[in-house]
Amino acid sequence: MKTSNNHVKRLTDNIITGGIEKDDVEIMLKVRMINLMSIIAILILVPLGIVDLIRGSSTIGIFVLVIAAVIIFNQFYLRKSGDYVFPIYCGISLVAAYFFYALITGGVNNTGYLWYFTFPLFTLFLLGAKRGALVTLLLLFISILFFTMNPSSSRFTVYSTDLKIRFVASYLVIFLFSYLFETLREKAQQKLSLKNVELEDTIAELKESEEKLQKAHEELERRVEERTADLVKVNDQLEKEIKERRQAGEALRESEDRYRVLVEESPFGVSLVGKDGRCKYLNPTFTEIFGYGLEDISTGREWFQKAYPDQKYREKVISSWTSDLRDAVPGEPRPCTYTVTCKDGSEKIIHFRPVTMETGDQFVIYEDITERTQLEAQLQLAQRMEALGTLAGGIAHNFNNLLTGIMGNTSLILIDTDPTHPHYKRLKSIEKLVDSGSNLTRQLLGYARKGQYEVRALNVNLLMKEIADTFALTKKDISVHQELESNLHGIHADQGQIEQILWNLYVNAADAMPAGGELFLRTTNVTDKDIKDKPYKVKPGTYILLTVRDTGVGMDRKTTERIFEPFFTTKGLAKGTGLGLASVYGIVKAHGGYIDVDSKKGKGTTFSIYLPALKKQGPENKVTPETIERGKEMLMLVDDEAMILEVGQEMLEMLGYTVIQAKGGEKALTLYKKHKDVVELVILDMVMPGMGGGETYDQLKEINPEVRVLLSSGYSIDGQAKEILERGCDGFIQKPFNMKQLSQKIREILDKEHS
């Protein structure tokens, strides 16, 4: 029901609008109006025309129908073309024509003119004020023309002048009001549309600004996004940097820790002095070396004052230190060595390595090289001694052979010379000179450490006493005090050499006390633990300590440092040889001992000698008889020197022996093979070219294991004599020897029971 209603409404609407659809309400109203009028006209005209035709008035009927057709055509045109202006003109023209027709014909009851009053109303509405006015006035003009013409025909109606005037006036009034009304409306309309345009403009502007705003908003959002992205990036970068810094910080702390440990645990002293001269840091080793802490030396100045109390030395150190500092490039070390006085007053030799850093701070490394320097000096001394020892040994060897010849010859002549003979005294003095000559070579050999031959267990107390007693006899103005350990350990040593040590020390003491004085001799048992604070390393074990102290002139430090050097003497070459203490030193070393000296100028001197001890007490020492002993056995004399062979043979024959001579080792062996059954003893020289004493001894032993051999030498290469003696050789005689010494040695061996 509702839909069909809607359908009818739409259809009627379509008919009334003529199919035109426009937004403009006014135009649509005009179209509706013309269409409605047209439809009403058609609905009236078509039946009217048909009635006219039926009634016989065909002209009118056809006319009416034609007009209706025109209106219908007009309708179709409107619908087809959508142009509403032409149909409006056409419609108005038709209405005007119809109104005029009604006027001239008088219409129904002569009231045709009344329709005229509606004409301005819709014409002005439909055509607007100006055109409507023109069309309205045109119709009025035509009507006035008709009125004035006043045609006299039955077809036309005649109106009274009064009516005509009233008609025109009324028409004009209606036209005028309609015109005014329309003009006002149009103006209002215009204003409205102007307002509308303004409004539209405003809206457009608003739209535009809204768009702009939108754009700006978008731009803003884009920028915000960009900024945010940038910020995120920067933030990431920042986080990375913070992480890196933290890592770098940790690495720094780690390396700082490492370096701190390194500096604190360093075996070297380390100090850091600021640019202003203030001490910033001292490591524990620094304080260990010098005893000074930061509280002792807060500035470099204070350090120099304390470390170098001697003004002259201090000035020297400061000037070379500052000049070094001035020239040094940052980071370049400038090593130097000075003697520093420590807090406890002791002096130390210090190697400095100062480095100036980029900051201007000074970093100094200190190495205590006191011990090393001392050891180096000792090593140098030892090397020098070694070289001199080789030289001394060589000289002693040759001299001893010469002296043996002189001694032998002198002994031989002396035997044949009566003590009353004028030459006897001279010969005795030659014997004495040879003795002091051999003494000299003995010192040389002692120093060269090559004189260690007959090593036996010894009681040092007895030796000490014996020599002291002899010494006391010769030096009456010196009182000797002995303080000997009652159960002193024995030692393993060469008796002659220990005597040599003691004799040298006593003689030196006597020389130091020319106007007399006191000599204190002491022996004590000690162990390595008692030998403390020495520049040398002590081998563990028990030792005996011999102390020889005098109250003599003493020595200054410089002298003390040199006394063990061979040929160092302060006594002048006429009196001193400078070999005494050198040989003492050599002998002590050769016996594995140590020697110290303590002396002060004007206060006397103390020598301390440590010798390795035997576990048991020392035995009784051997005492040699003073007489010449003779024999009748057959002996073989082996030597490389013809002179010694000759003199030796004569000496032995004079003692009653039969002698076979052998020049050199090889000869000795061939001869011994031949005569081994008759030869009772071989006197064998040790140093010979070709086959030496050692090898000859071994070969002899092979030929006859029972062979008896007396070794003879003025010189021993690196303890060879000692070795041969240890291999079972029966005895040793030191060249040069005299008749008495030789005779006793031979009998000592020959009279010994064969083991």
**Among Mg ion, ligand ADP, none, partner that 474 touches (CB below 5 to 8 angstroms by kind):** none
Residue 454 or 550: the one with the smaller Cβ distance to ligand ADP is: 550
Q: Distance between CA atoms of 197 and 455, rounded to whole angstroms?
A: 146
**Among Mg ion, ligand ADP, none, partner that 45 touches (CB below 5 to 8 angstroms by kind):** none
Per-residue 3-state assignment (H helix, E strand, C coil) for 325-355: HHHCCCCCECCEEEEEECCCCCEEEEEEEEE
Residue 214 or 570: the one with the smaller Cβ distance to ligand ADP is: 570
> What is the nearest approach in angstroms of ligand ADP to the Cβ of residue 587?
12
Using CB under 5 A as the criterion, what x/- string covers residues 100-139 for binding Mg ion? ----------------------------------------
> What is the nearest approach in angstroms of ligand ADP to the Cβ of residue 394?
20
Residue among 679, 684, 632, 694 at smallest CA distance from 657: 632
Q: In Å, how far are 212, 215, 354, 487, 595 from 209, measured between CA atoms?
A: 5, 9, 80, 129, 116
**Among Mg ion, ligand ADP, none, partner that 569 touches (CB below 5 to 8 angstroms by kind):** ligand ADP
> What is the nearest approach in angstroms of ligand ADP to the Cβ of residue 518?
12
Residue 581 or 684: the one with the smaller Cβ distance to Mg ion is: 581
> What is the nearest approach in angstroms of ligand ADP to the Cβ of residue 601?
9
**For Mg ion, which residue has the nearest CB?**
580
Strands 604-617 and 489-494, by their bridges, are antiparallel
> What is the nearest approach in angstroms of ligand ADP to the Cβ of residue 586?
11
Residue 396 or 407: the one with the smaller Cβ distance to Mg ion is: 396
**Among ligand ADP, Mg ion, none, partner that 618 touches (CB below 5 to 8 angstroms by kind):** none
* Chain residues that interact with ligand ADP, rule: CB under 6 A: 504, 508-509, 512, 550, 552-555, 559, 563, 568-571, 576-578, 580-582, 605
Residue 98 or 503: the one with the smaller Cβ distance to Mg ion is: 503
**Among ligand ADP, Mg ion, none, partner that 720 touches (CB below 5 to 8 angstroms by kind):** none
Query: Alpha carbon 427 to chain centroid distance?
Result: 83
Task: Assess 490 for contact with Mg ion (CB under 5 A).
Answer: no
**Among ligand ADP, Mg ion, none, partner that 550 touches (CB below 5 to 8 angstroms by kind):** ligand ADP
Q: Distance between CA atoms of 694 and 665, rounded to whole angstroms?
A: 9
Stretch that binds Mg ion, among 145-153, 322-330, 356-364, 579-587 (CB under 5 A): 579-587
- Taking the CA atoms of residue 40, residue 41, residue 42 and residue 44 in that order, the dihedral angle to the nearest 10 degrees is 80
> What is the nearest approach in angstroms of ligand ADP to the Cβ of residue 505?
7
What is the sign of the dihedral through the CA atoms of 560, 561, 565 and 568?
Answer: negative
DSSP string, 338-400: EEEE-TTS-EEEEEEEEEE-TTS-EEEEEEE-HHHHHHHHHHHHHHHHHHHHHHHHHHHHHHH
Q: Cα angle at 181 between 177 and 186, to 5 degrees? A: 150
Using CB under 5 A as the criterion, what x/- string covers residues 495-534 for binding Mg ion? -------------x--------------------------
Residue 115 or 568: the one with the smaller Cβ distance to ligand ADP is: 568
Residue 388 or 406: the one with the smaller Cβ distance to ligand ADP is: 388
Task: Assess 143 for contact with Mg ion (CB under 5 A).
Answer: no
**Among Mg ion, ligand ADP, none, partner that 437 touches (CB below 5 to 8 angstroms by kind):** none
Task: Assess 580 for contact with Mg ion (CB under 5 A).
Answer: yes
> What is the nearest approach in angstroms of ligand ADP to the Cβ of residue 560?
8
> What is the nearest approach in angstroms of ligand ADP to the Cβ of residue 365?
40
Residue 107 or 578: the one with the smaller Cβ distance to Mg ion is: 578
Q: Distance between CA atoms of 665 and 693, rounded to whole angstroms?
A: 7
What is the sign of the dihedral through the CA atoms of 650, 655, 656 and 660?
Answer: negative
**CB neighbours (10 Å) of residue 668?**
27
**For ligand ADP, which residue has the nearest CB?**
580
**Among Mg ion, ligand ADP, none, partner that 559 touches (CB below 5 to 8 angstroms by kind):** ligand ADP
**Among ligand ADP, Mg ion, none, partner that 553 touches (CB below 5 to 8 angstroms by kind):** ligand ADP
Q: In Å, how far are 147, 177, 322 from 171, measured between CA atoms?
A: 14, 10, 136
Q: How many helices (H) and strands (E) does the chain have?
A: 21, 17
Stretch that binds Mg ion, among 222-230, 446-454, 491-499, 575-583 (CB under 5 A): 575-583
Residue 268 or 520: the one with the smaller Cβ distance to ligand ADP is: 520
DSSP string, 139-176: HHHHHHHHHHH----TTS----HHHHHHHHHHHHHHHH
Residue among 425, 432, 424, 423 at smallest CA distance from 403: 432
- Kindly determine how many residues on this chain lie close enough to bind Mg ion according to the rule CB under 5 A: 2
Q: Distance between CA atoms of 236 and 161, rounded to whole angstroms?
A: 108
Task: Assess 586 for contact with Mg ion (CB under 5 A).
Answer: no
Q: Is 731 helix (H, G, I), strand (E, B) or coil?
A: strand
What is the sign of the dihedral through the CA atoms of 229, 235, 238 and 242?
Answer: negative
Residue among 750, 12, 740 at smallest CA distance from 408: 740
Residue 547 or 744: the one with the smaller Cβ distance to Mg ion is: 547
Q: Distance between CA atoms of 60 and 492, rounded to whole angstroms?
A: 189
Residue among 105, 118, 103 at smallest CA distance from 170: 118
**Among Mg ion, ligand ADP, none, partner that 136 touches (CB below 5 to 8 angstroms by kind):** none
Using CB under 5 A as the criterion, what x/- string covers residues 532-571 for binding Mg ion? ----------------------------------------
Stretch that binds Mg ion, among 304-312, 461-469, 578-586, 664-672 (CB under 5 A): 578-586
Task: Assess 605 for contact with Mg ion (CB under 5 A).
Answer: no
Secondary element (H or E) of residue 547:
strand 542-550
Residue among 136, 163, 142, 160 at smallest CA distance from 100: 142
> What is the nearest approach in angstroms of ligand ADP to the Cβ of residue 506?
9
> What is the nearest approach in angstroms of ligand ADP to the Cβ of residue 379?
21
Cβ(485)–Cβ(524) below 8 Å: yes
Contacts to Mg ion by CB under 5 A:
508, 580
